[in-house]
Structure 1
Amino acid sequence: MDRADIVDQRFRTRLASGDLPRGNPAHGPLSDTLAVAIFRAQCLSRNLDRRSRKMQAEGQGYYTIGSSGHEGMAAVAAALRPDDMAFLHYRDGAFQCMRSQQVPGVTPAWGMLLSFATAMDDPISGGRHKVLGSKPLLIPPQTSTIASHVPKAVGAAYSIGLAKRHPPEHQVLAQDSLVMCSFGDASANHSTAQGAFNTAAWTAYQSTPLPLLFVCEDNGIGISTRTPRGWVAANFAQRPGLKYFHANGLDLYDTYRVAREAVEHTRHQRKPAFLHLSLVRLYGHAGSDLQQAYLPKQVFEGWEADDPLLHSARLLIQRGILSADEVLDIYQQAEDQCTRVAAEVVTRPRLQTAEQVMASLIPPPRACAPSNGAGETARQTAFGSDHKQLDAPQTMNRLINWALTDLMLAHDEIVMMGEDVGTKGGVYGVTQKLAERFGPDRMIDTLLDEQSILGLAIGMAHNGFVPIPEIQFLAYLHNAEDQLRGEAATLPFFSNGQFTNPMVIRIAGLGYQKGFGGHFHNDNSLAVLRDIPGLIIACPSRGDEAAMMMRECVRLAREEQRVVVMVEPIALYPMRDLMAEKDSGWMATYPSPDRRIGLGEVGVSDDGPLAILTYGNGRYLSTQAASDLADQGIETRVIDLRWIAPLPVEGILAALEGAEKVLIVDECRSTGSLSEALMAMLQEQTALPHARLAACDSFIATGPAYAATMPSRASISEAARTLWAAP
């Protein structure tokens, strides 16, 4: 027999017999009316869980992971305002049910059951996932089970104070609101969560406003692994900068009272708090999890005996607010409603085609106020001594710096963050002087934690900012890649385009750095980025084009709400010469602020019959090789992709018009590199003979062999000659 049905029967039997669990009497500021409202939300959440399990058993529902045992979260919702953004734990059905009572026009049973049925009418995900979330309730959908949503909650909370000083055009959160983020006791141990807690405390320790309420829902177990008794309190009660509160999550009065105290502290002190709720888990981890297979019977039966609904019934009856019959009537009304609505939602259409599934991968554009850029006086003031050099040839790092200056002048909602981006101006000087020009509010020197950097950006984007986070080196992204894959890029997908987090991530990367850092500072692989649906990847190769592409990246984020990554080739940052020492052949003048290179627009030099298809450092080396080949009577054209994802197929094919053969030059590793996709595209869409030259499947060495595993000017020339000579 399903444990959910056993718990249901015991609730009814014990309520009828008056066999209610022992506990403290009701105490606190909770009114009778609100107490009943909380109990209604608890009953609805419980019966939504039961109905979802029955839907799955009938083949009409999918992926059941319930909130039973965590009904105390309804009291937390009651202690908050509906304009406090909430990033929820996956067991927070009761929270959403309670908040639904606070916002007119929201019908939680209908909406949540549509989600359980994966119906296209599902108001949050459009049938893509069983997920909590609601646009009217200010609950972005969460699919994480390992607390990867915690870093962005820190970012969203930080954005509230920043928005007071620099109001973004598309501001969402009220100035006196706060952010709530909930998670389980097991998830609290994950490095992602621990980094976020540390970032919050680190921020608050410096007296920076951070109105953030962490809520740890401690049911004592993570799937099958028990949490050591007392561990959560021992871990969090004494953290500097993080005020600790504890409540009995089975007692709606105690939970509401302590939650109110934590909320008041967070809202008025503008400092983070940690609310620790003691709860129980009913039914196991998920519908397919049989906890009786790994837990002694007395353990889960003990949890069932402490059913939160029985505790709520005891408190409401003891206070004289409801009779046992009235308690049962509320419970039965919830079951009847769920049964009735479920019968309807399973008849609703579900997603069927790839086009339907993918329709929300790309978020909808939004209307933005037109920007004509900054006036010349403002530009002269911001650029300072640099203003006189705008017409002189410069290296890539400086031209990107100037592009960022113009963009930040034009758009007040742009904020940059990362390790050393402010005072130092970045490892390679790309952000030099920006802190002087725009202040520490908009040039944030973060602590050394890539997950927190990206989380800060994601959260700030929730509140209307256009963040430009920097990851200092491409190899460092691997510490935090899930913030892009599991959080940023999936948000429009799982919210049907209702929630977005537009941003431009700058990453210094790729190879060819001479004698510095080996594979930690030279990482020639873009595979981890190319694998993320909906992500735009830009990779410039020359300074003027980098400036124009950065402008397009910001436009894509600001107007089209896209998540964009610009991979900036480190070795080309300071590059001055092309063919000979001091020829300044790779320097360029700063393009006018109104010029940009559009998404999918490739670059082509010359029109020879041998096309070299490349990007990044490959363009620089191929341009050198093209000169050598011309001396040998082989005319070439060098095609710079510029845009790595989505692959600019139309632009590539247009650039190949009139070509006779194609050599792909890819500085990334042969396995998993862009060259594989390009080979497939050429095979499928052209009849052109083609070959590729890619890097070896190896990490990069430090010292004289720094470029030994990657294409070179000489190897490109040799590969081109071989291809051209082939029949």
Structure 2
Amino acid sequence: MPRRTMIEAIRDAMAVSMERDDDVVVFGEDVGYFGGVFRCTQGLQARFGKSRCFDAPISELGIVGAAVGMAAYGLKPCIEIQFADYMYPAYDQIVSEAARLRYRSGGQFTAPMVVRMPTGGGIFGGQTHSQSPEALFTHVAGLKTVVPSNPYDAKGLLIAAIEDPDPVIFLEPKRLYNGPFDGHHDRPVTPWARHDLGEVPDGHYTVPLGKAAIRREGAAVTVLAYGTIVHVAEAAAAETGIDAEVIDLRTLLPLDMETIEASVRKTGRCVIAHEATLTSGFGAELAALVQESCFYHLEAPIVRVAGWDTPYPHAQEWAYFPGPERVSRALRAALEG
């Protein structure tokens, strides 16, 4: 089976989808001839032509607004916002138009579109290239939110997202783009370097939206994570020797509560870890859901590990990330609670 980086898996997902369905179009800033700032769309314009993979003006509002119109018309746009930090001018179009189109039209129109965004830190990008805004999307009814942690899932989830009849926010952790990543903060991402990371089949396959994956089985404590922090949690469990069960959520909405509940009821303890800031992060919603559904099975308070409640600290990027040491402390706290 071919081994691909996450960048290559994402590119292959778009190529497979464009090959199978002429209605799939790809556009955004620099995604055409240049192939995208991280080269996720490299070669797609040469293969499918300028009418199906093309550059857009530097206007995130315009990119998303055009995609909503295309989707309502019957196309299936897969658009790229160059960095998740740049999505704020387009947020109104995402929330007020894309997310609500099915409902406000009584089902007469839908918005089968995907908004791809590199997310999180790892490239020393500072405050305007490193944010993790997933909670802003999970709060919006009508959107699906996806965060893959490995190349196999990235390809399968993206194909599933493109084929979904409603809008999907697809967040791509930059620290995982080129791998391998062992959960430690020992190096920045190098977008131009290639490192084999995962086996990714050729051709078409999907990973279902709304289904979590158990990355490490255990009986002492459940760890809920997604994206980059899945690898951090695995590293922490290995280093401490704690029998932790690590669950990769993969899709934040729809959320696989069945898998979460089964694990927490088995272990009786729960640690939640993510890169975004702690206050009002998606971990707060996870903690509320676990408390509501598993209260009588919990043997200790739920513990959260997250980024600092500060503007993104450029000079202290590697300290800001929840690393294995901080997750290890959370695991011990859950066991001692």
TM above 0.5: yes
- Following TM superposition, the consecutive aligned residue runs of length 4 or more in structure 1 with deviations greater than 4 angstroms are none
Aligned counterpart for 1:514 among listed residues 123, 140, 143: 123
Distance in 1 between residues matched to 2:195 and 2:216, nearest whole Å: 16
**Bigger Rg over Cα:** 1
Does the CA-based 8 Å contact 1:393-1:590 persist in structure 2?
yes
Aligned counterpart for 2:101 among listed residues 491, 499, 517: 491
CA RMSD of aligned residues (A): 2.0
Distance in 1 between residues matched to 2:308 and 2:4, nearest whole Å: 33
Q: Alpha-carbon deviation of 1:626?
A: 1.7
Aligned counterpart for 2:166 among listed residues 551, 554, 562: 562
Does the CA-based 8 Å contact 2:303-2:333 persist in structure 1?
no
Q: Alpha-carbon deviation of 1:592?
A: 4.5
Q: Alpha-carbon deviation of 1:495?
A: 1.2
Q: Which amino acid aligns with 1:596?
A: T
Q: Alpha-carbon deviation of 1:470?
A: 0.7
Deviations 1:296-316 (A, max 9, x none): xxxxxxxxxxxxxxxxxxxxx
Q: Which residue of 2 aligns with 1:461?
A: 71
| Higher share in strand | 2
* Compared CA separation, residues 620 and 452, structure 1 to 2 (3 A): same
Aligned counterpart for 1:702 among listed residues 307, 314, 319: 314
- Residues 1:525 and 2:136 aligned together: no
Does the CA-based 8 Å contact 1:612-1:665 persist in structure 2?
yes
Q: Which structure ranks higher in relative contact order (CA pairs < 8 Å, sequence separation ≥ 6)?
A: 2
Gaps in structure 2 of 5+ consecutive residues: 187-193
Q: Which residue of 1 aligns with 2:325?
A: 714
- Residues 1:668 and 2:280 aligned together: no
Aligned residue pairs total 325
Gaps in structure 1 of 5+ consecutive residues: 1-390
Deviations 1:587-610 (A, max 9, x none): 101125343211211010232122
Q: Which residue of 2 aligns with 1:274?
A: none
Deviations 1:273-295 (A, max 9, x none): xxxxxxxxxxxxxxxxxxxxxxx
SS at match of 2:333: helix
Q: Which residue of 2 aligns with 1:691?
A: 303
Q: For residues 96-495 of structure 1, what are the structure 2 equivalents within 5 Å?
A: 391-495=1-105
Q: Which residue of 2 aligns with 1:544?
A: 152
Does the CA-based 8 Å contact 1:579-1:585 persist in structure 2?
no
Aligned counterpart for 2:256 among listed residues 648, 665, 671: 648
Q: Alpha-carbon deviation of 1:647?
A: 2.5
Does the CA-based 8 Å contact 2:24-2:76 persist in structure 1?
yes
Q: Which amino acid aligns with 2:213?
A: G
Distance in 2 between residues matched to 1:402 and 1:528, nearest whole Å: 28
SS at match of 1:719: helix
Distance in 1 between residues matched to 2:8 and 2:195, nearest whole Å: 16
Does the CA-based 8 Å contact 1:700-1:707 persist in structure 2?
no
Q: Alpha-carbon deviation of 1:665?
A: 0.6
Does the CA-based 8 Å contact 2:132-2:276 persist in structure 1?
yes
Q: Which residue of 2 aligns with 1:65?
A: none
Q: Which residue of 2 aligns with 1:614?
A: 225
Deviations 1:398-449 (A, max 9, x none): 1111121111111111001100111111111111111111111111101100
Does the CA-based 8 Å contact 2:218-2:243 persist in structure 1?
yes
* Compared CA separation, residues 649 and 523, structure 1 to 2 (3 A): same
* Compared CA separation, residues 643 and 442, structure 1 to 2 (3 A): same
Question: TM-score under structure 1 normalisation?
Answer: 0.43
Q: Which residue of 2 aligns with 1:572?
A: 176
* Compared CA separation, residues 676 and 579, structure 1 to 2 (3 A): closer
Quick one: percent identity of the two aligned structures?
32
Q: Alpha-carbon deviation of 1:585?
A: 9.9
Distance in 2 between residues matched to 1:717 and 1:586, nearest whole Å: 28
